[in-house]
Structure 1
Amino acid sequence: MKINLTSFLFIVIMMVGIIITLSSNSILMMWVGLELTMISFVPMMTMEGISGGESSMKYFVVQSVSSCMLILGMLFLLMNMSNDFLMLMSLCIKVGLAPFHGWVLSMVDGLNYLLLFVLLSIMKISPIFILTFTNFNFYLMVLITLIVGSISGLNQNSIRKLMSYSSIYNLGFIFSSIYFNSIWSLYLFMYTIILMMVIFLMNNYNLNYLNQFMLNNFNFKEKMVLWVCMLSLGGMPPMLGFLNKIIIFELMMMNDEYIILMVMIFSSLLIMFFYIRISLISIMTFSLMMKWNFFLKMYSSYFFMIVNFLMFPLFILIKPIL
């Protein structure tokens, strides 16, 4: 997608839709904000040619069906038929929560990395915000999301699908703290920052599949930045991504949710496996650089490495102040 006046207009409409959803006190106006966000995102996908047009049709059909379910659930509420299960299902479909995640995986290969970033981060703000006003126990759906997001990504070769499964997995963490606005919004904000760094690197190096790491000729600095960002997205301490997980772990212990906590810990090991696999392929297994020359070429750190290494200790230090 080229950044021109047309795409800039759609981005502005998308931001307006999100602001309407976040600032409204009526469920109808929140729905209007959701539709504005969807209507602005579909034309941006059509700019990608045939593959983008196919993805836009899939996205439009799924979002239209979920919007109809949302309107139907709102009508039931107006008729004093207090059955909000239909609204919950529609919003879970919109956000791509497991087991309603199939449409996300079927359309990500037709998107470029900029649209993928928008789909996996910005487009989830409005539906999650609306779900915070519900009173539903997402216990089972969180478990399914954690298991599906961690196990299904093990046999993937596409970088886009790996990012999608990682996003589905992180939705499990978000939905485990969905009734704590300060926690899930902080988690989504930091996840968006880390995802932006990784997608920027993938787009800059034009990497789409894992076997492209085997034929790379990156210099050592680029490999180190890519390695640190991958480990941060997987949640390896002491990176920034580990701060997200330790906040949720502490919340689960405070609420005595030990089963979800155990599933989170074991699934985190699986997530770390396929991110370490990417780093290992890039740095160690297939590399034109002599391994004993690694530490002879240490240059100044990049901004991404500074953010990932220093933000976690910084938050730990300022936590008593907050």
Structure 2
Amino acid sequence: MYFSFNSSKMFFFIILIFSTLISISSNSWIGCWIGLEINLLSFIPLISNSNNLLSTEASLKYFLTQSIASINFLFSILLKMILMKNFEMIFFLSIMINSSMLMKMGSAPFHFWFPNIIEGLSWFNNFILMTWQKITPMIILSYYFNKNFILIIIMLNAIIGALGGLNQTSLRKLMAFSSINNLGWMLSSIMISENLWLFYLMLYSFMISIMCFLFHILNMFYINQLFINNMNSLIKINLLINFLSLGGLPPFIGFLPKWIIINFLIMNQMYFLTFILIMMSLIMLFFYIRIIYSSFMFNYLKMKWFKIFIKNNKFLLINFISFFSLTGMILSTFLYL
């Protein structure tokens, strides 16, 4: 598992970026569909690895689920073109198009494939799947919203993301359910404004990149590794800051976009939705704090001979990023001045 690419992987990575640009700049449904298909065919070579059975299985599962979503989307487009004047079918078609995009991004209740596939991927591929692969479906979804349907989906994402992560021992599955929970916030932000969604996505991508980078350097995949391995206290503090920032605790940068969304939802009198999102965020924070508490408090004498070291340049980068995570309250204070 490496962050570096060979030439063929780099080629597919460039195609992946261009496929997203094709979809979001297209002025027709067929153009969006073509971009999605190119995206699918470029991401599979990135995640498949002949030496790893888990990644091969994950690539096959990803192909099957994305193909089902693409067929559903194409069928919806064709129906829309045929039944253009039939207003009774518009509601049904909007739900079909929305559902296919939600399946594409791994949203609840179509999330059945998401944690299983993430479990078989490297941390870098997980980062792409949790951030970049959500851009195209989210933008296509914003073209054809069914507001009442999306409100139910937002609540489902928040609840399933929070409750699904409670009994997980795998860090990758934990990040998957965290991503599902954050998807609820993302859908709320895109209902308010595309600029707010872009701001949320950028900050979320920043926070997820820190976590994936840290776990990649420490070579960690399970929760028990956080307190079995003999880590430096500064590394544990960095993990604490970044976990709490991802959960959206007020002093950290992850609180800023959530605070803006809560303000807008309360202004639009969506009190029940706001209550669900806040309560589920508290559950997310509960299991983040539980993990950090364990890593700080548990002491394994058997592993004292094994010490984890991080190169100075990487450690300085992690410390700088963690310091940036602490500036959330300052930015929140000056936002409305």
The alignment's TM-score, normalised by the length of structure 2, stands at 0.88
1:64 to 2:67 alignment: yes
**1:202 maps to which residue?**
215
**2:162 maps to which residue?**
150
> Secondary structure of 2:113's partner?
helix
**1:229 maps to which residue?**
242
1:177 to 2:177 alignment: no
CA distance in 2, matches of 1:37, 1:316: 40
1:54 to 2:67 alignment: no
Q: CA deviation at 1:59?
A: 0.3
Q: CA deviation at 1:315?
A: 5.3
> Secondary structure of 1:99's partner?
coil
Unpaired segments ≥5 residues, structure 1? 289-298
**1:187–1:244 CA contact under 8 A, matched in 2:** yes
Question: Which residue, out of 313, 316, 319, partners 2:330?
Answer: 313
1:110 to 2:127 alignment: no
CA distance in 1, matches of 2:145, 2:166: 34
The alignment's TM-score, normalised by the length of structure 1, stands at 0.92
Question: Which residue, out of 108, 125, 140, partners 1:98?
Answer: 108
CA distance in 2, matches of 1:135, 1:175: 10
Question: Which residue, out of 21, 24, 32, partners 1:22?
Answer: 24
**2:166–2:287 CA contact under 8 A, matched in 1:** yes
Q: Deviations over 1:84-143 (max 9, x none)?
A: 322111111101111110100121111010101111111000000000111302111111
**1:52–1:110 CA contact under 8 A, matched in 2:** yes
> Secondary structure of 1:198's partner?
helix
Letter in 2 for 1:190: L
Unpaired segments ≥5 residues, structure 2? 302-314
Q: CA deviation at 1:317?
A: 2.0
CA distance in 2, matches of 1:135, 1:279: 39
Q: Deviations over 1:134-168 (max 9, x none)?
A: 13021111111111111111110000000000000
Letter in 2 for 1:309: L
CA-based RMSD: 1.8
Q: Deviations over 1:252-309 (max 9, x none)?
A: 1111100010011111110001111121111233377xxxxxxxxxx98911222101
Question: How many correspondences in the alignment?
Answer: 310
Letter in 2 for 1:172: G
1:285 to 2:291 alignment: no
**1:77 maps to which residue?**
80
**1:163 maps to which residue?**
175
